[in-house]
Amino acid sequence: MRKSLREYVRHGYGGAQTTTARFGGTASTAGVFGNTLEAVAESGNQAGPGVLDPALWQGRSASEVMDALVEAVRPVDGTQDAEAERASIRGSLSDVLVRYPDADLLNLSIEQRTFAIERFTAMDVFHRYELDLGKTIQEKASSASVAVRRLREIKDYIKECISASFRKIAASGARLTKGRISQVVTQALQDTFEVFEGYVE
């Protein structure tokens, strides 16, 4: 698993720096995602990307609210990147409800929004990895169940590494405040890819 991640960063993209640049869309979408969650929670004026009126979604199911947030943050444009990011947004919101069962998706706390952005980042890294190497992993696995297990292990490990990077950044005093979300996410990605690139046999 570690060798796979090392090769993905080192040879697939030419190193941590270029891999981070390739994931610039992840950081940009994370910024829109975070700003949207904040605007919805504070019911403030929402101009530009991520327009969503929380009053229209009161009383709707969690699944409906998640779909609305996904559409607000990352509309369909027919690209694989968009589909990966949409799946990552929805997955991160699902994880928020697992971690915080009483969370209101239309009124997430700062802690919950931070967790959502962290999980979005991790899931987007995994979804892109899966797009790039998923077929190879399936072909080399002895069975479909083994392939699924390997992908799940990689997904969980990426989540752990991204989480560690976010904790490191938080410990340095940086916060996921409006206007700085993309910058913090970019740093978390850089740190994570440097860890992957540095793996040794």
Tens-place pLDDT, residues 57-73:
778 899 999 999 999 99
Per-residue pLDDT tens digits for 29-49: 999 999 999 988 887 544 444
Where do the structural domains in the chain lie, given as residue ranges? 2-197
Please tell me the pTM assigned to this model. Answer: 0.90
Question: What are phi and psi for residue 61, nearest 5 degrees?
Answer: -70, 160
For every one of its 201 residues, what pLDDT tens digit does the chain have, with 9 covering 90 and above? Answer: 888 899 999 989 999 999 999 999 999 999 999 999 998 888 754 444 445 776 677 788 999 999 999 999 999 998 988 999 999 999 999 999 999 999 999 999 999 999 999 999 999 999 999 999 989 999 989 999 999 999 999 999 999 999 999 999 889 887 777 778 999 999 999 999 999 998 865
Q: Residue 129 in contact with residue 23, Cβ under 8 Å?
A: no
Q: What is the CA radius of gyration of the chain?
A: 17
